[in-house]
């Protein structure tokens, strides 16, 4: 354990005080009990915060802590009882507990905290009255355990299970022909690991003997990625890691595969598939992905394209024949099929999306899995029943997934490969048989992937070096063919040809990404978040609902499949008008009618939010479904946020692409080579605002490699400097310009800057092309989306001409990374990157070598990158990497390069904007002095004016504040009426009163109150947002209903005349959640953003006693008091 000794006494007093305050509060016994569970969970997270292990649940943390601190076993199970009973209470508001049960939990948590923090063990080890008096026999088919001991001499694992209370169990491994296939897994097993034991038997010595052992089952591995570990020449988990780094080329083979899937979707959906014509369907496919067809170099020439069309026509005819002829013969009914259903299987540790599924409504009839493969037929081609091993593995995984989700018998699930290249009737559909040996091999390979990921999570550069050595060792793959030998040789060459510092840089970021991915899949270090995929089943539904991480009780009102995709209109049945989902976000939809329903118990569909309001939601799905049975069967649905893996996949590829770039580019980006510039330094005289702008623009233009513009709040980073740079380069050069931002909102602002640069006040500017999707793009700029421009092109040649003549391309980083083909058809001379301080280095390091020069605009003292791992884990202590100022892998490239330039005095490569035109000087003074070394200057005269507002009621304290104060802190210390730490009723009431007073004061002074511009409200928790919205709704005042109330993260880039900040910090531990310190702990980035959104007035509401425990908050409150 890593509890800091100097903090233990303070922490002990804090927690004991909180327990007593909860005990003496007037809330119900039920709420008190749930609060004890929350205190227990938070304490366990804090106790294990510096542990290397990841814990998927409170059960796992308690087991681990009990081992380390040697807690009495009965106390451990009393604590586990708190967890179990709380889950029971949360399932239904009618569920209650007795005073005796509450008293037991109260005593247990007091004993626990005393042992951990005060080393006071007053616990009496008696037989407690536990929850599971009549313990049921465990389900031997499926037991989840946590490993607490490994006896390698006797080949026995000791573990504890949530389903087998009050005792440990022993698991026998290396049992011949039963579980010896998992010996490689066991060799790399660790204490604290989670295992699923499947199909167990108990021997005479009461040892559990499972047939299948699934390691860390919450770490879901994608079915298609796992299948590629199996090749005709051998099988290895190393294929999984090698493929992480290889860039997927936009080849005709990939294009043909996507086209075949499109044909399948169209033919399945059609009521008359036999009447569909190839030309019509192909044209539709072209319009769906015009850019991919246009940019593919394999089919650029007319002769190549014609040959491709012949193959496509053959594929279409074959798929059409299978659907109209072979499907009926095999009892496959397209009306009962679902296209592209997705599944999660925690039982086996898989996730996957099938091509086609015919799900039987019961176990009596066979369910059918169809997987389409458009490539060449397996060797030998003459064997019409032959299936390639990777395809067979993929269908086997899907079969296991269907078994686990629906509980179907494997004999009632038929899997087949549809080889669309087979031209003879009857040879396309090929049955994939079931055999246990292969299933064990699949799960063992999956386990080896997870052990390797876990090694990386815990490891260092030597761990990565060993992995790459293994990848490049041909002996690890079996009898390898020449093409694979050449591929490995190229891979080895890339790694061998880099310098030591480049190697250390590459290896360190792989460790960083492995940790990010592990946390994203299994769990995270944060107290107040559920960011992992596993949280979809490891956290309580009611907790996620309370945190606004899901929307439930949705009713389908209409399904529209008349256009390119399918839209479903859902009616919301909820009293809350707060929504933690945004248009354009990808979400997971699943049926939820019973408390036991989850993403693990049914198929899920992934869709994009097209519209959202307090009354309805419209989801858009790429795949239209002829089969509506799934939607008709269920009356209640839920949506949750999708946790996407592909962002990490792109970062791995980006790092590897960087290694393959020219050496001088690598040196420049690492900070080993001075960036070149034609700029000549002038005298250090005091510049006017306009002159200072001209100097910075001139320095940026004269730079040859890169230039960094630091833009503190309100300095016009986008509105002035990005616009002027775009204007200059477009009008004075022939350069192609790639403009990138981190968020879609920033891209919208940049599109507006382009409009202004070209004097297009009607927003109809056609000088640029935007990469992205309609749902993520403001409607004013949708006409410039690549998709919409391509729709108008009559041919590939016409689209190529359109792309060639446009010189400005713009999009989010994610959109640009998702269209790597753009660099095949366009050479960019310049890239302008806005919000650069929010972009992780691996996200962009692969793109920058592809442009001649880049200009980054950002502010590393405002909100920075988003990462999951703690600063301790992201920190870099490598001496070589410290030379290039890499101290924290969670920082942006912008911040690191800025530090490099500053330390080397490369002043030609960076500058800071100092004239801010947003904040009145009273509001700007504190952040200016504390965060910006007092360099910021007011850009306008109004920023120095006195506040002059008439007051109508001198007895009203809020009118006095609003009329006379630019900046005020309102202290409120009592939170005794608060059930959750994430809400503060009194703060919400004060916010509502202030809002009413601001509106009244504006009207009394004949000032226009614009709900979208005048007032904004910032608070850290979604629950507090919802409460404030409710309080404003209660006022019945129309002008107060459309005010932006959101977190500080959502407010970055925005401004309002007046900002109200509700800290909602009810307990000291919450300070850590709200604070976001830079590396030297001189700047609180969140606070900086929060207090720099206001132009005229800023009102802060919070608990002074808690806030002043943070030195920066203390200085802020002292500064405000000094203004009195």
CA distance 422 to 372: 12
Report the pLDDT value the prediction gives residue 133, as an integer from 0 to 100.
41
- Topology alike, domains 243-443 and 540-641: no
Establish how many alpha carbons lie within 13 A of residue 802's alpha carbon, considering only the half-sphere containing its beta carbon: 24
How many helices (H) and strands (E) are present in the chain, helices listed first?
Answer: 43, 35
pLDDT at 309 over 60: yes
CA distance 422 to 100: 71
What average pLDDT does the segment 678-700 reach? 83
Structure tokens at 940: 């306008």
pLDDT for 475-526, tens place per residue? 999 889 999 999 999 999 999 999 999 999 999 999 999 999 999 999 864 5
Report the pLDDT value the prediction gives residue 809, as an integer from 0 to 100.
97
Are the CB atoms for 660 and 654 separated by under 8 Å?
A: no
Report the pLDDT value the prediction gives residue 132, as an integer from 0 to 100.
45
Are the CB atoms for 598 and 552 separated by under 8 Å?
A: no
Report the pLDDT value the prediction gives residue 684, as an integer from 0 to 100.
58
What average pLDDT does the segment 380-390 reach? 90
* Residue 794 burial (10 A CB sphere; 0-12, 13-18, 19+): exposed
The Cβ of residue 921 has, within 10 Å, a number of other Cβ atoms equal to 15
Per-residue confidence band for 226, with pLDDT thresholds at 50, 70 and 90:
very high
What average pLDDT does the segment 860-882 reach? 92
What average pLDDT does the structure give for the chain?
Answer: 91
Q: Is 242 helix (H, G, I), strand (E, B) or coil?
A: helix
CA distances from 53 to 77, 464, 515, 689 (A): 22, 19, 11, 53
% of the chain with per-residue pLDDT over 90? 70
CA distance 847 to 604: 34
Structure tokens at 302: 């007319």
pLDDT for 108-167, tens place per residue? 999 999 999 887 766 665 554 444 444 556 788 999 999 999 999 999 999 999 888 667
DSSP state of 682: -
CA distance 163 to 144: 8
* In the chain, where the domains are located: 5-118, 243-443, 540-641, 646-664+706-861+870-913, 921-1122
CA distance 338 to 978: 47
Report the pLDDT value the prediction gives residue 1031, as an integer from 0 to 100.
94
Q: What is the CATH number of domain 540-641?
A: 2.40.30.270
Q: What is the CATH number of domain 243-443?
A: 3.90.320.10
> What's domain 921-1122's architecture?
3-Layer(aba) Sandwich (3.40)
What average pLDDT does the segment 701-730 reach? 93
Cis peptide before 192 (omega within 30 of 0): no
Whole-model pTM?
A: 0.93
CA pseudo-torsion sign 423, 424, 425, 429: negative
Q: Which CATH class is domain 646-664+706-861+870-913?
A: alpha beta
CA distance 951 to 504: 64
Report the pLDDT value the prediction gives residue 577, as an integer from 0 to 100.
66
Q: Are strands 234-235 and 230-231 parallel, antiparallel or unpaired?
A: antiparallel
CA distances from 258 to 262, 263, 321, 880 (A): 6, 9, 19, 44
Report the pLDDT value the prediction gives residue 575, as an integer from 0 to 100.
62
pLDDT at 312 over 70: yes
- Residue 337, strand partner residues: 358
Are the CB atoms for 41 and 981 separated by under 8 Å?
A: no
pLDDT at 867 over 80: yes
Report the pLDDT value the prediction gives residue 686, as an integer from 0 to 100.
63
DSSP state of 884: T
pLDDT for 928-960, tens place per residue? 999 999 999 999 999 999 998 998 888 899 999
Are the CB atoms for 28 and 98 separated by under 8 Å?
A: no
Q: Which residues are within 8 A (CB) of 81 and not within 5 positions of it... i.e. 6 or more apart?
A: 104, 105, 108, 128, 130, 131
What average pLDDT does the segment 653-679 reach? 96
Of 1073, 1044, 1072, 1083, the residue nearest 1060 (C-alpha): 1044
């Amino acid at each position: 354990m890593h509890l800091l000794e100097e903090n233990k006494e303070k922490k002990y007093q804090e927690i004991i005080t909180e327990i007593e305050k909860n005990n003496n509060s007037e809330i119900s016994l039920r709420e008190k009990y749930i609060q004890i569970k929350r205190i227990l969970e938070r304490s366990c997270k804090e106790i294990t915060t510096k542990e290397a292990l990841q814990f998927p649940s409170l059960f796992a943390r308690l087991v681990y802590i009990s081992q380390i601190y040697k807690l009495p076993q009965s106390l451990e199970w009393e604590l586990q009882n708190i967890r179990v009973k709380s889950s029971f209470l949360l399932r239904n508001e009618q569920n209650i507990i007795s005073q005796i049960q509450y008293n037991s939990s109260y005593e247990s948590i007091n004993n626990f905290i005393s042992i951990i923090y005060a080393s006071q063990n007053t616990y009496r080890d008696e037989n407690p009255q536990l929850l599971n008096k009549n313990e049921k026999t465990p389900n031997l088919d499926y037991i989840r355990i946590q490993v607490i001991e490994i006896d390698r001499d006797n080949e026995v694992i000791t573990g504890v299970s949530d389903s087998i209370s009050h005792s440990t169990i022993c698991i026998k491994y290396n049992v011949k022909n039963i579980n010896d296939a998992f010996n490689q897994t066991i060799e790399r097993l660790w204490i604290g690991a989670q295992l699923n034991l499947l199909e167990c038997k108990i021997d005479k010595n009461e040892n559990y003997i499972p047939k299948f052992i699934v390691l860390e089952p919450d770490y879901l591995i994608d079915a298609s990625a796992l299948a590629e570990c199996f090749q005709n020449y051998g099988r290895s988990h190393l294929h999984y890691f090698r493929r992480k780094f290889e860039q997927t080329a936009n080849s005709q083979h990939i294009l043909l595969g996507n086209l075949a899937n499109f044909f399948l979707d169209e033919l399945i959906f059609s009521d008359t598939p036999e009447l569909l014509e190839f030309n019509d369907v192909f044209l539709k496919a072209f319009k769906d992905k015009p850019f991919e067809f246009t940019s593919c170099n394999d089919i650029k020439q007319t002769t190549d394209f014609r040959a491709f069309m012949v193959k496509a026509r053959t594929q279409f005819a074959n798929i059409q024949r299978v659907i109209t002829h072979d499907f009926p013969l095999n009892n496959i009914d397209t009306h009962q099929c679902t296209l592209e259903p997705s599944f999660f299987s925690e039982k086996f540790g898989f996730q996957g999306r099938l091509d086609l599924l015919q799900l039987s409504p019961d176990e009596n009839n066979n369910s059918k899995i169809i997987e389409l493969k458009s490539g060449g037929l397996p060797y030998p081609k003459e064997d019409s029943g032959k299936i390639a091993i990777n395809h067979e593995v993929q269908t086997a995984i899907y079969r296991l997934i269907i078994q686990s989700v629906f509980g179907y018998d494997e004999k009632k699930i038929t899997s087949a490969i549809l080889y669309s290249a087979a031209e003879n009737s009857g040879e396309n559909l090929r049955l994939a048989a079931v055999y246990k040996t292969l299933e064990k091999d699949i799960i063992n390979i999956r386990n080896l992937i997870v052990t390797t990921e876990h090694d990386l999570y815990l490891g260092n550069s030597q761990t990565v070096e060993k992995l790459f050595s293994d990848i490049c060792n041909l002996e690890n793959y079996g009898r390898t063919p020449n093409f694979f030998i050449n591929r490995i040789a190229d891979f080895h060459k890339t790694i061998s040809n880099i310098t030591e510092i480049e190697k250390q840089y590459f290896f360190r970021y792989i460790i960083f990404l492995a940790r990010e991915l592990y946390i994203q899949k299994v769990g995270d270090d944060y107290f107040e978040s559920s960011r992992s995929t596993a949280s979809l089943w490891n956290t309580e539904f009611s907790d996620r609902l309370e945190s606004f991480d899901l929307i439930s009780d949705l009713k389908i009102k209409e399904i529209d499949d008349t256009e390119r995709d399918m839209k479903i209109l859902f009616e919301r049945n909820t009293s809350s008008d707060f929504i933690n989902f945004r248009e354009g976000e990808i979400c997971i939809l699943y049926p939820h009618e019973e408390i036991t329903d989850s993403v693990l118990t049914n198929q899920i569909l992934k869709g994009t939010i097209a519209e959202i309001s307090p009354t309805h939601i419209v989801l858009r799905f790429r795949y239209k479904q002829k089969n509506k049975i799934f939607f008709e069967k269920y009356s209640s649905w839920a949506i949750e946020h999708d946790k996407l893996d592909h962002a990490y996949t792109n970062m791995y590829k980006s790092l590897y692409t960087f290694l393959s770039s020219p050496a001088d580019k690598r040196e420049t980006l690492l900070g080993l080579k001075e960036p070149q510039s034609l700029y000549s330094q002038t005298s250090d005289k005091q510049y006017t605002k306009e002159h200072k702008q001209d100097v910075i623009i001139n320095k940026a233009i004269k730079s040859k490699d890169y230039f960094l513009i630091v833009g503190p709040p309100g300095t016009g980073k986008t509105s002035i400097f990005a616009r002027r740079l775009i204007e200059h380069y477009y009008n004075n050069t022939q350069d192609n310009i790639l403009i990138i931002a981190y968020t879609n909102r920033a891209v919208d602002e940049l599109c507006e800057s382009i409009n202004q640069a070209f004097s297009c006040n009607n927003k109809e500017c056609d000088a640029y092309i935007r990469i992205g999707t309609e749902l993520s793009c403001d409607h004013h700029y949708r006409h410039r989306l690549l998709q919409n421009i391509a729709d108008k092109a009559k041919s590939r040649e016409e689209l190529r001409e359109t792309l060639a003549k446009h010189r400005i391309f713009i999009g989010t980083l994610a959109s640009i990374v998702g269209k790597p083909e753009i660099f095949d058809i366009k050479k960019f001379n310049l890239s302008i990157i806005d919000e650069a301080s929010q972009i992780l280095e691996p996200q962009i390091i692969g793109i920058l070598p592809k442009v001649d020069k880049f200009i980054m605009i950002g502010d590393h003292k405002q909100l920075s990158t988003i990462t999951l791992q703690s600063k301790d884990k992201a920190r870099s202590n490598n001496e070589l990497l410290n030379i290039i100022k890499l101290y924290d892998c969670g920082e942006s490239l912008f911040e690191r390069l800025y530090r490099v330039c500053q330390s080397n005095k490369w002043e030609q490569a960076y500058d800071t904007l100092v004239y801010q035109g947003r904040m009145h000087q009273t509001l700007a003074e504190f952040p200016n002095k504390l965060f910006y070394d007092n360099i910021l200057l007011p850009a306008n005269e109004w920023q120095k004016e006195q506040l002059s507002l008439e007051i109508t009621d001198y007895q009203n304290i809020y009118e006095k504040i609003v009329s006379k104060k630019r900046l005020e802190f309102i202290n409120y210390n009592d939170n005794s009426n608060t059930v959750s730490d994430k809400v503060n009723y009194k703060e919400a009431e004060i916010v509502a009163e202030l809002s009413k007073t601001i509106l009244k004061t504006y009207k009394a002074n004949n000032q226009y109150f614009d709900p979208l511009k005048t007032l904004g409200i910032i608070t850290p928790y979604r629950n507090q947002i919802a409460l404030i919205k409710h309080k404003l709704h209660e006022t019945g005042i129309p002008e107060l209903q459309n005010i932006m109330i959101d977190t500080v993260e959502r407010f970055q880039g925005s401004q309002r005349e007046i900002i109200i900040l509700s800290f909602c910090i009810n307990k000291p531990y919450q300070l850590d959640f709200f604070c976001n310190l830079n590396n030297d702990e001189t700047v609180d980035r969140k606070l900086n953003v929060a207090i720099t959104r206001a132009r005229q007035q800023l009102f802060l509401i919070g608990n002074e006693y808690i806030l002043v425990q943070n030195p920066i908050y203390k200085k802020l409150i002292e500064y405000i008091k000094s203004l009195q």
